[in-house]
A and B are shown apart, each in its own frame.
Chain A
Amino acid sequence: MWNGANNPYEYDKDTGACALFGMINVEGKRFPSKDPVRAISNMRERGNGLGSGFAVYGIYPDYRELYAFHVMYLNHQAKRDVEKVLEENFRVVLSEELPTKEAKVWNPPLIWRYFVEPLTSKMREKNLTEDDYVVKNVMRINTAESGRALIFSSGKNMGVFKGVGYPEEIAEYFCLEEYEGYMWICHNRYPTNTPGWWGGAHPFNLLDWAVAHNGELSSYGTNRRFLATYGYECTMQTDTEVLTYAFDLLVRRHEIPLELVPKILTPPFWNEIDCMPQRQRQLLTTLRQIYSGLLMNGPFSIIVARHGQMIGLVDRIKLRPLTAAMKGNFFYLSSEEAAIRVVQPTLDKVWNLHGGEIAVGMVKVPVLV
């Protein structure tokens, strides 16, 4: 994925600090961009204008059965090449330039969106599920295009909008006031290694997984090589990518209940596990033994989302902040409580996540897809 244009120093992972904000309506009711954009913009100090982004769920109800690909191109040749691959492997129902308008952003690439469905014949030939087929193709294109093109959003009825600029500028550029979603994940970035590359902004996405991340994984080398043995090739070489794949592996492929995921990613210490009742001790010990390569070390707080779920998680010893809050039908996650208060001054409940703790906001009724 890297080349001289987007990563002149050949860095392997993100080092930086950031602001996170997420907001979900647990009834699945869609709402506009006003509150999320205002909240994330309130944490301006945590970014430096070199990367911001939004993952919005429930924005394409008319095409809810189709995968929505958002693709950035550095040149027209890349677009022709990718479109050829897309047409060979998918039925492309709609292809259009992503609507944008004048805004204070830096050097935007060409961005297109495609609504596609996998070609059944090809899928059967490879004996893959629909999701696995999409993952395989997305990874293949992203690896092969090596920085010239990037599929940065590939879920159904959701989309990622990201680039180089402050959050309110990116929101304006992508005309986010035109969209309504029931869940918004927002990110404001202070990068130290890939400034100026649109693909390097958060959230990261695969299928309907989106991850916004504040931190740095000291375990990145271990995590990446562990995930590679399960077929996940890290193409973007940022540590956030491994978090996305870890969730995909554990929750989607290995069907591990969400509440157990932190016991793998940010497990309790052995001396705590040793004191637990026998059955729990055995469960947690086995999880740590099998998935030792997925323990995420280093300072981080993350918001992970997929349809119907917004998950907050902080590192084992809480080196980065994350606040959760509830008000009526809304569940919030934010790097700072102030950002929540700015859009909702009175809250039913507010709490700071402990190290290794998870907070989940879920839509009560199954929504879409």
Chain B
Amino acid sequence: MRSYLLPEYVVRRDVKRCNKCKICIEQCTYGVHYYDEKDDYVLSRDENCVNCQRCVVFCPKRAIVIKKNPVSYRKNYHWTSEAIMAIKKQAETGSAILTGMGCDKPNLTYWDKLLLNASQVTNPSIDPLREPIELRTYLGKKGKQVELASNGGDVVLETELAPQLQLEIPVMFAAMSYGAVNLNVQEALVRAAVECGTYFNCGEGGLHPSLYKYGDHIIVQVASGRFGIHIEYLKVGAAIEIKIGQGAKPGIGGHLPGEKVSEEIAKMRMIPVGTDALSPAPHHDIYSIEDLKQLVYALKEATEYIKPVAVKIAAVHNVAAIASGIARSGADIIVIDGVRGSTGAAPKVIRDNVGIPVEFALAVVDERLRNEGIRNEVSIVVSGSIRNSADVVKAIALGADAVYIGTAALIAMGCTVCQRCYTGKCPWGIATTNPRISKRLNPEEASRRLVNLLNAWSIEIKEMLGGMGINAIESLRGNREQLRGIGLSESELKILNVKPAGM
């Protein structure tokens, strides 16, 4: 069948600049560039290009420019090019359209509609270059009241707090499994987490033994496929996360195709080489909230109650009620992944249409847990959409204890959000397990980029806090007084429980 699809991008090469070094041919993993020996030209197959910008960055002569294909269908606000292309693709393949990364549709980002406060006159702002400003955060169950005893005039602490995770910056690296990304990526992430005093979540794919030594900074995940889970795995991590759902694909499972299941990955996941790794849509031992409680306690029993257990859910319509149930299940941390949440592979129609913005989910969960007097029973972590330090500050002001970043971390390492992670051909050496391409990512250098990113955010967060006259991050948590909404409807303001700008 002849393909009717138009190339999405076109490659423009300045032939005067091109010296035919063929680096672009070498760098492209999609076979876009090729050398025509007869005419002595480097040429392109535009239809293969995904606009990942790898060749553009690596061309020593700056001879390449990638452009959106100017040839497109007639302009139509309903039948957009995207809609037409999707139909053509499905008519040719008969399958669901896959995509990678988070939802790219407009109007779902509410961070940009929230503005922060600063002090003037009545309250001096604090200069982080001269005064200490604290970002340390503890995740875990806190309880409502301290118990003290007196011993001959000495105050003795009777309360023994549930296990906590100590973060020096309230930003952690979100779950990215071995298989979705390669070991170099995981190593870069975990080394940065160690250096910055935060955590890396290994996702559902087991944990490579070479990373066990960083266990104190790793959150190990238990997901519906139960891949790679054994007692040593559970014990090596600093915390355990039960993954119920993911913002990019709420309600559906995961699928790592057999082609990606190499010997090493098969070993980690404890499955035969070359077989598909299918994570079921639900956990088949959790058909109800009380079943979740059993799993939480099974994991706590197995690890002797010395580490917090987190439960990760996708932000869906009745997220507040679900979170309230989770808070009563014995879980120490609730992770909420919003509609912008990213993925290595998901059906596009699910990614773009299922779930709600994490800003709303966070606002209602925090409010509900407070109304029920159980906010201090759990910490709240949000993920899926955090792009910069301002997003972090706004999330904490809305009520989060900390955030996860996934896409932002990948971008720091080279990712350009081309949304083709599911092909396993990532030219930046990230979303691939192909050993030849994986080598492109040097864990040492990538980890340096991640540390730089977190250090930069740390400085910016301190600047914003200092501006508000706050010198400890806990005074920002749930402090919606520091937020104002702009361009929001009354009902949106009510759900976020923030005042409009000017009020």
In the complex the two chains form, is B157's CB within 8 Å of A16's CB? no
Sorting the interface of chain B by its residue count into under 10, 10 to 19, 20 to 34 or 35 or more gives 35 or more
Interface string of A9-20 (1 = CB under 8 A from B): 010110111000
Contact status of A289 and B161, CB under 8 A, knowing A17-B122, A216-B122: yes
In the complex the two chains form, is B478's CB within 8 Å of A222's CB? yes
In the complex the two chains form, is A216's CB within 8 Å of B123's CB? yes
Interface string of B156-173 (1 = CB under 8 A from A): 010101001000000000
In the complex the two chains form, is A270's CB within 8 Å of B134's CB? yes
Query: Is B471 interfacial (CB-CB < 8 Å)?
Result: yes
Of B60-68, B124-132, B294-302, the stretch lying at the interface with chain A is B124-132
In the complex the two chains form, is A225's CB within 8 Å of B134's CB? no
A220 CA to B375 CA, complexed, in Å:
18
Interface string of A239-272 (1 = CB under 8 A from B): 0000000000000001111001000000001110
Query: Closest residue of chain A to B138, judged by CB?
Result: A289
In the complex the two chains form, is B375's CB within 8 Å of A270's CB? no
In the complex the two chains form, is A221's CB within 8 Å of B376's CB? no
A130 CA to B482 CA, complexed, in Å:
37
Interchain nearest-CB distance for A3 vs B (Å): 16
Query: Is B351 interfacial (CB-CB < 8 Å)?
Result: no
Of B18-26, B43-51, B143-151, B433-441, the stretch lying at the interface with chain A is B143-151
Interchain nearest-CB distance for B133 vs A (Å): 9
Query: Is A349 interfacial (CB-CB < 8 Å)?
Result: no
A49 CA to B407 CA, complexed, in Å:
56
In the complex the two chains form, is B146's CB within 8 Å of A290's CB? yes
With a cutoff of 8 Å between Cβ atoms, the chain B residues found around residue A257 in the complex are: 148, 150, 155
In the complex the two chains form, is A279's CB within 8 Å of B157's CB? yes
Contact status of A295 and B126, CB under 8 A, knowing A221-B481, A269-B132: no
**Pick from A220, A279, A297: contact of B471, CB under 8 Å:** A297
Query: Is A32 interfacial (CB-CB < 8 Å)?
Result: no
In the complex the two chains form, is B146's CB within 8 Å of A218's CB? no
Query: Closest residue of chain B to A319, judged by CB?
Result: B124
With a cutoff of 8 Å between Cβ atoms, the chain B residues found around residue A10 in the complex are: 503
Interchain nearest-CB distance for A44 vs B (Å): 20
In the complex the two chains form, is B159's CB within 8 Å of A286's CB? yes
Interchain nearest-CB distance for B92 vs A (Å): 54
A297 CA to B144 CA, complexed, in Å:
21
In the complex the two chains form, is A256's CB within 8 Å of B148's CB? yes
**Pick from A15, A192, A225, A230: contact of B478, CB under 8 Å:** A225
Query: Is A299 interfacial (CB-CB < 8 Å)?
Result: yes
With a cutoff of 8 Å between Cβ atoms, the chain A residues found around residue B142 in the complex are: 289-290, 292
Query: Closest residue of chain A to B477, judged by CB?
Result: A222
In the complex the two chains form, is B370's CB within 8 Å of A298's CB? no
Interchain nearest-CB distance for A285 vs B (Å): 8
A299 CA to B123 CA, complexed, in Å:
6
Query: Is A287 interfacial (CB-CB < 8 Å)?
Result: yes
- Chain B contacts with A in 456-503, Cβ cutoff 8 A: 468-472, 474-482, 503
A297 CA to B469 CA, complexed, in Å:
7
- Chain A contacts with B in 275-314, Cβ cutoff 8 A: 279, 282-283, 286-293, 295-299
With a cutoff of 8 Å between Cβ atoms, the chain B residues found around residue A319 in the complex are: 124
Interchain nearest-CB distance for B215 vs A (Å): 22
- Chain A contacts with B in 313-349, Cβ cutoff 8 A: 316-317, 319
Interchain nearest-CB distance for B40 vs A (Å): 65
With a cutoff of 8 Å between Cβ atoms, the chain A residues found around residue B145 in the complex are: 254, 290
Query: Is B318 interfacial (CB-CB < 8 Å)?
Result: no
**Pick from A13, A218, A225, A271: contact of B132, CB under 8 Å:** A271
Contact status of A295 and B123, CB under 8 A, knowing A12-B481, A290-B142, A317-B131: no
28 residue pairs from A and B, CB less than 8 Å apart:
A10-B503, A12-B481, A17-B122, A216-B469, A220-B481, A221-B480, A221-B481, A222-B477, A225-B479, A228-B370, A229-B370, A254-B146, A256-B148, A257-B155, A269-B134, A270-B136, A271-B132, A289-B164, A290-B144, A290-B145, A290-B146, A291-B146, A292-B474, A296-B475, A297-B471, A297-B475, A298-B123, A319-B124
Q: Which residues of A contact B (CB under 8 A)?
A: 10, 12-13, 15-17, 192, 215-216, 218-222, 225-226, 228-230, 254-257, 260, 269-271, 279, 282-283, 286-293, 295-299, 316-317, 319
Beyond A279-B157, A287-B146, 10 additional pairs, beta carbon < 8 A: A218-B482, A221-B479, A229-B373, A229-B375, A269-B132, A270-B134, A286-B159, A290-B144, A290-B145, A298-B470
